[in-house]
Amino acid sequence: MKDKIIKCAFNYIEDLFKNDFGGHDVEHSKRVYQNALLIAKCEPECDLFVVSLAALLHDVDDHKLFHTENNANARAFLESVQLDQNQIDRICELMNGISFSKNRGVRPETLEGKIVQDADRLDAIGAIGIARTFAFGGERKRPLSATVQHFYDKLLLLKDEMNTAEGKRIAEHRHQLMVDFLQELNNEMHINETE
């Protein structure tokens, strides 16, 4: 039954994000799900069903993409697969607690929230984070030099805000890759000054 609901959640997001490309497409939600499973393996106490659904659905009411109130998309889906109201409330509350901009500096209270927040943040850093950032900058028609600022405003801060041990471990590697990349980028952008 639980496997079937997770399969339905995959189908639901495939359809919902079918016109979105770049940083916020369905592939992002699927990677967050995979990251969440990796972290959850190291956190045996967690409720894997809640982690799975929250990871897959965490952006279905993102205000940048949808004009919904009170997690309307997530609720409609979770009701359609007949989850009970308590569980629906719990998953929605968890998803509302993980957004970076809405909860600056506030950590999720539940283990499941911590896992999904880390999983989402991992997808914002490392090689994939670099790719998403420039895709976003391109979409907004910003030059590379302006887009780079986002690394200093947000992405380089994420490593120290991870909640779980496994999240921290993966973040260290991805963080270093961004540091190395920015160093190289800076060298290449200012090549004429050193020649």
The site for ligand ADP (CB under 6 A) is made up of 23-24, 28, 59, 62, 64, 100, 120, 124, 129, 132-133, 136-137, 147, 150, 155
In terms of CB distance, is 4 or 104 closer to Ni ion?
Answer: 104
Closest alpha carbon to 122 in 174, 186, 189, 51: 174
Residue 125 token pair: 């850093």
Q: Minimum distance between the CB of residue 82 and ligand ADP, rounded to whole angstroms?
A: 28
**Minimum separation from the CB atom of position 21 to ligand ADP (A):** 12
Closer CB to ligand ADP, residue 60 or residue 83? 60
Residue with tokens 């993980």: 98
Distant-in-sequence, close-in-space partners of 179: CB < 8 Å, separation ≥ 6:
156
Query: According to the binding rule CB under 5 A, does residue 120 interact with Ni ion?
Result: yes
**Shortest spacing between CB 28 and ligand ADP, in angstroms:** 6
**Beta carbon of residue 175, minimum distance to ligand ADP (angstroms, whole number):** 14
Is residue 18 exposed (0-12), middle (13-18) or buried (19+ Cβ within 10 Å)?
A: exposed
Amino acid, res. 173: H
C-beta of 25 vs 47, nearer to Ni ion = 25
Site for Ni ion in 35-64 (CB under 5 A): 59
| Token pair in block for residue 53 | 């659904």
Nearer to Ni ion, 14 or 84 (CB): 14
CB of 10 to Ni ion, least distance (A): 16
Residues in the chain: 195
Residue 124 touches which of ligand ADP, Ni ion, none (Cβ within 5-8 Å per kind): ligand ADP
Q: Quick one: CA dihedral 172, 29, 157, 93, positive or negative?
A: negative
Using DSSP's 3-state secondary structure scheme, residue 18 falls into coil
Residues that bind Ni ion (CB under 5 A): 59, 120
